[in-house]
Structure 1
Amino acid sequence: MSGAKRRLVAVSNRVGPLTDEGKAGGLAVGLSDALRRRGGVWFGWSGEVSAEGTDSEARTETVGNVSMVTIDLTQEEVDGFYYGYANRSLWPLLHYRLDLAQFDRASDRVYRAVNQRFAARLMPMLRDDDIIWVHDYHFFHLGSELRQQGFKGSVGFYLHIPFCPPEMFSALPSGVDIVKAMLAYDLVGFQTDTDRRNFIQFCVRELGGEKLKGHRVRVGGRVVSARTFPIGIDAEGFARFAVSPEASEHEEMVRGMAGDRLQIVGVDRMDYSKGLVERLLGFERLLEDYPENRGAVQFLQVAPLSRSELDAYAELRRDLESLSGHVNGRFATLDWTPFQIMTTGFTRRALAGIYRAARVCLVTPLRDGMNLVAKEFVAAQDPQDPGVLVLSRFAGARAELSEALIVNPYSTDDVARALQRALSMPLEERQERWRAMRAAVFGNTASYWCEAFLAELESIPKDVPA
């Protein structure tokens, strides 16, 4: 193509803004930059519910050389596709929570139908030489649907959340169908080597596939590349956020709230995968086993509400509120409340200020694809007085942020010991650990992640029938 970059067509459940102010994470940052460079289309759900269903008109917003195209879903589709199969079946299963996964044929059918409808609405927009990049667990079937509807060009897929072991994924009644559908993609990307290996092992064990060199797998006549691309953040941009007036205001508010106490901070969606209850139990153990911290530390958990319509999320909120009352009732004094939780959201700049005020950031998911909070915390720190990151061994970010204090989030003793070490860590050690993590965060940015995936996808020859 005479050296010109091919047009990019991205598909994700929700379409992010192209403005710098609204970027919420690695996906929005990486795709925004790539779409601007290449031109193209970003296609997804509008977030709106329409009774018209397949007859509803697509909304198109053009920003420069990029078209943001969204369609509505019916209430039946929202219930079956989004709240049903995607978040009652796939989300818990892929996060190793088979005990919370619910399987039913009706929501599976709606999930497949939505994937088919997205493909049908996307096809008229496509050019033969477009690069299609499909994102996340909402659209496992989309590549297969595009192939069936005639698209023969490059199609890649990236899974932002974990891919569980084959023994667990095989519990999903339609698990074999999903992985067969994933074979329609030329490149399947994962956050970690563990996720990639789990996918390849499923192909080999359950589909009779053959593992090939170069992180590829052959199933029948189809060869698919499966590679690891850990997602990053806009590190420089977030570091600038941390010294903005809004960040400084929130930093001072948090410091004022803590007084002369050391501040522990957690920032997560209200989700059972984040280990919020286990985290608070670890903090309680800190106060039990290291009583010198009573009255000397404060723990602020920011946990915006998420998917409140689902029973598991409502139950989590009740459990966390109950445990919060127990911990505060047990240890609080007239002038000290050890634990505070806020379920409201904050802007990116405000969060940067909150991170900067923290001596310790607790990032202890029970299972997470990557966890960008860990990277944002590192980017936001004051080089002269950086805080300490306490990180779950089950977060994808662990592979890059090895200088964090790594913990088993299921062990309250382990979390308590790490908190004690972090709170008492000398400045020189804090700086040394932070510099190593900063190099990792600034060396693998969202833009780098995006271009690495697209370069790999473009390098795959289109000589294997889809």
Structure 2
Amino acid sequence: MSRLVVISNRVADPRKTAAGGLAVALAEVLSNTGGLWFGWSGKIVPEGANEALHTQQAGPVKLATVDLTQADHDAYYLGYSNGVLWPVFHYRLDLADFDAGYIAGYRRVNQQFARKLLPLLRPDDILWVHDYHLIPLAAELRALGCKQRIGFFLHIPLPPPLMLAAIPGHDWLVRALFAYDLVGFQSKADLGHFAGYVETEAHAQPVEPGRWRAFGRTVQAGAFPIGIDVDEFQALTRAPEGAEMYQRMKNEYSRRKLLVGVDRLDYSKGLPHRMRAFRELLAKNPETRNSATLIQIASPSREDVSAYNDILHELESLCGSINGNFGELDWMPVRYMHRTVARARLPGLYRASRVALVTPLRDGMNLVAKEFIAAQDEADPGVLVLSRFAGAAEQMREAMLVNPYDTEGTAAGIMMALQMPLEERRNRHQALLQTLRRYDVHWWCDGFLQALDSAQAEEAGTSWLRL
């Protein structure tokens, strides 16, 4: 069996379930192959001190990390990855910093990663590169002579062709994707945007469904919506911390219907829009006052960036205004927490909630939506109110789908969720849970790796040119 090599911006110990996300998803396949996980250490070191390669063993998995200097971190991570790619890929051209010259640092760090990774590779390794921080990594590895099969998965959305073309150097960025054997996206919509771009901007020729040829090379691309480990998350719901949280919430809110939102503090999550919809719900439906409480958790995220400070202040102002205008001595409509809640406690909060609000303006997938469904009591389940602009909406059609830009429409959707009869709640939940089990994280992982194993990259003298 070939060894799996995972490359991502950050590396986590796959033995620790608290790590969540990518660590949980990849732990099994990495362990089965005695795999290698490579990425940034999370440490910032002085100039010239970033040449060391750090390795450690995490059970059968080898972890290999490199440090970054402050200049590289600022250009590669804060600058190009999160100052250019993140806003554009989430349809926010107005927030992208195109003029700061970050692209050189982004390229430099990807080159550094390629140089450090190459000596660690075996001839029959299969490489799986994750997310927007590392789009050019395969091209840098190919330039150093790497012949192994390499796949790439984009966890965030891919914007429409014209929006993608607004990025200076967009042609180089997409050309770099052709160094991969397989490129995976979260949704069919994202795959459609990729096809539209490569055919109109790069003049790629469709070879067959899901395969294109350009720059002397073919690339295969597909939609691989990521899932969760349903059994693992349900076990967390029954575990002591989850069960304790559930009981506490049920006792504290026994006379009220609980709504929940759990997000990173990010402009893509539509949190101010959500609060305005909740305010509209209270204003238009007096029966919800003193009976509906929204718990909104907004985990800190990149607060040294001005756009995040702006949304933090707007969100705090809206929460204060709603509580001031509608609150009573014994009831506050919104309980807002600007901190991270332990993953082990979240299932209990989800299970105690009648409604979950997952209403991003744009999201690659959004696993909170899937975790909420997994945590529910099948006999008396809650209702998922889901933005149609989340990647999860393609699979989760039985959720209450809303347009977060439509304040009145979203408020009406929340009201329908609060009033939904038990039989309809059960039917929707049963269908959603069936989808979650069929397309779980193991299906995602196995499906991508099987597609990568069979991908045929017909290379014809491609030269991976430097900028």
Place the TM-score, normalised by the shorter chain, in its bin.
Answer: over 0.9
Partner of 1:417: 412
2:227 aligned with 1:235, yes or no?
Answer: no
Quote the Cα distance in structure 2 between the aligned partners of 1:131 and 1:100: 36
Distance 2:255 2:105 in 1: 54
1:464 Cα deviation from its structure 2 partner: 2.6
Report the AA paired with residue 24 of structure 1: G
Structure-2 separation of matches of 1:93 and 1:63: 36
Decide whether the 8 Å contact of 1:53 with 1:73 is kept in 2: no
- Confirm or deny that 1:427 pairs with 2:422: yes
Output the CA distance in 2 between the equivalents of 1:439 and 1:126: 39
- Select 2:195's aligned residue among 197, 200, 222: 200
Report the counterpart of residue 276 of structure 1 in structure 2.
271
Deviations 1:161-213 (Å, cap 9, x if unpaired)? Answer: 00000110111001111001111001000000111111121111111111232
1:10 alignment counterpart: 6
42, 52, 60: which one aligns with 1:47:
42
> Does residue 38 of structure 1 match 2:33?
yes
- Whole-angstrom CA distance in 1 between matches of 2:252 and 2:41: 39
Q: Please name the residue that 2:456 is paired with.
A: 461
Confirm or deny: 8 A CA contact 2:81 2:106 kept in the other structure: yes
1:59 counterpart residue number? 54
| Corresponding residue of 1:131 | 126
Partner of 2:67: 72
- In the alignment, what sits opposite 1:373? 368
Aligned to 1:207, the other structure's residue is in SS state coil
Match of 2:18 in 1: 22
Equivalent residue runs for 1:46-445 within 5 Å? 46-53=41-48, 55-104=50-99, 106-445=101-440
**Runs of 5+ in structure 2 lacking a partner?**
463-467
1:153–1:462 contact (8 Å) kept in structure 2: no
Q: Aligned with 1:255: secondary structure?
A: helix
Alignment size in residue pairs: 461
State the shift of 1:55 in Å: 4.3
Structure 1 segments of 4+ aligned residues over 4 angstroms from their partners: 52-55
Comparing 180-189 with 443-452, greater Cα deviation is found at: 443-452
- Distance between the aligned counterparts of 2:264 and 2:330, measured in 1? 29
Distance 1:227 1:242, change over 3 A: same
Worse-matched range after superposition: 244-253 or 409-418: 244-253
Q: 1:405 to 1:39 in 2, by over 3 A?
A: same
1:54 CA displacement = 6.2
The aligned counterpart of 2:465 is none
Note the C-alpha offset of 1:29.
1.9
Q: Does structure 2 retain, via aligned residues, the 8 Å contact 1:53–1:72? A: no
Deviation for aligned residue 1:328? 0.9
**3-state DSSP class of the match of 2:264?**
coil
